[in-house]
Amino acid sequence: MRALITGASAGLGAEFARQLSKMGYDLILVARREDRLKELSAELGTRTEIITMDLSLEENCYKLFESLENTKIDLLINNAGFGLFGEFTDTDLDKELNMIDLNIKSLHILTKLFLKKFKEADCGRILNVASSAAFLSGPLMATYYATKAYVLRLTDAISEELRRDKSKVYIGALCPGPVDTEFSAVAGVNFALAGIKADYCVRYALKKMFKGKKIIIPGVVVRTGVFFQRFLPYSILRRISFNIQRKKG
Ligand SMILES: NC(=O)c1ccc[n+]([C@@H]2O[C@H](COP(=O)([O-])OP(=O)(O)OC[C@H]3O[C@@H](n4cnc5c(N)ncnc54)[C@H](OP(=O)(O)O)[C@@H]3O)[C@@H](O)[C@H]2O)c1
């Protein structure tokens, strides 16, 4: 068994690598920081290949797929991503376009290329890392929330196509609330809610993924919040969201 994990040099990606390695998976780990990937690889008990690559560059996504064309991948975890805090008119446009390239475009390309291959073989799993941000609009983190809504909607739609095709291929979206990783430092936020631990988040995600759950929300507080928000109108939700976001600045 072999898993390909993007954004494996830190946080959730590194934790996916640790737990999947313990389950016997060989790993292909992708991120930009080679030293971090090497350190992680040295602590893992199964065969590991590291690929140092900036996935926000479209051509690298194609290169990655092509370089693995003759390698059997059983599980793809599209995890690489980042956020950015600030009012929409103040945030840096180039950073946001880079975020869209990584959070949306690279995930879209890799999902399509690997899914085609998986469908032909009628096996394989894709876990796309979205966020609980996918369920709301996110004033003060508008672009990040919108990218994660894209990930959730895309993944959910494909899962229905697969179900109707009676395909054995799995695709699902992981939608955690705050998790203790490097995410908040990169995004420039302080979480209003205490984050869950990355090892809990990943253990829960893998358990649910292997059971075939399509939308995975770790943590009872966030799960309850997502459940109840369907009863509130958007006019209220976006105000609540603003107030939660404001505390992160
Ligand atoms: N932490 C949270 O609260 C939280 C909540 C919900 C969802 N998420 C999602 O979970 C995923 C993982 O985030 P995390 O919390 O683990 O954050 P993290 O600790 O900052 O890790 C992000 C990973 O993405 C990689 N990455 C960033 N830019 C990249 C690029 N251009 N090309 C390739 N890899 C890149 C980073 O590696 P390099 O810098 O070495 O490239 C790192 O390995 C993200 O999609 C995030 O949106 C996080």
Query: Which CATH number do you get for residue 79?
Result: 3.40.50.720
Rounded mean pLDDT, 148-175: 98
Query: What is the position in ligand 1's atom list of the atom closest to the CA of 83?
Result: 47
pTM attached to this predicted model: 0.97
Query: What is the position in ligand 1's atom list of the atom closest to the CA of 80?
Result: 24
Domain count for the chain? 1
Among 20-34, 46-60, 122-136, 185-199, the least confident range:
185-199
pLDDT at 138 over 80: yes
Which domain does 144 fall in, by range? 2-246
Rounded mean pLDDT, 235-242: 92
pLDDT at 23 over 90: yes
116 by Cβ neighbours in 10 Å (0-12 / 13-18 / 19+) ranks as exposed
pLDDT at 54 over 80: yes
Mutate to test the pocket of ligand 1, among 52, 98, 141, 183 (most ligand atoms within 8 A of CB): 183
Active site residue 150: no
What pLDDT is attached to residue 100? 98
What pLDDT is attached to residue 6? 98
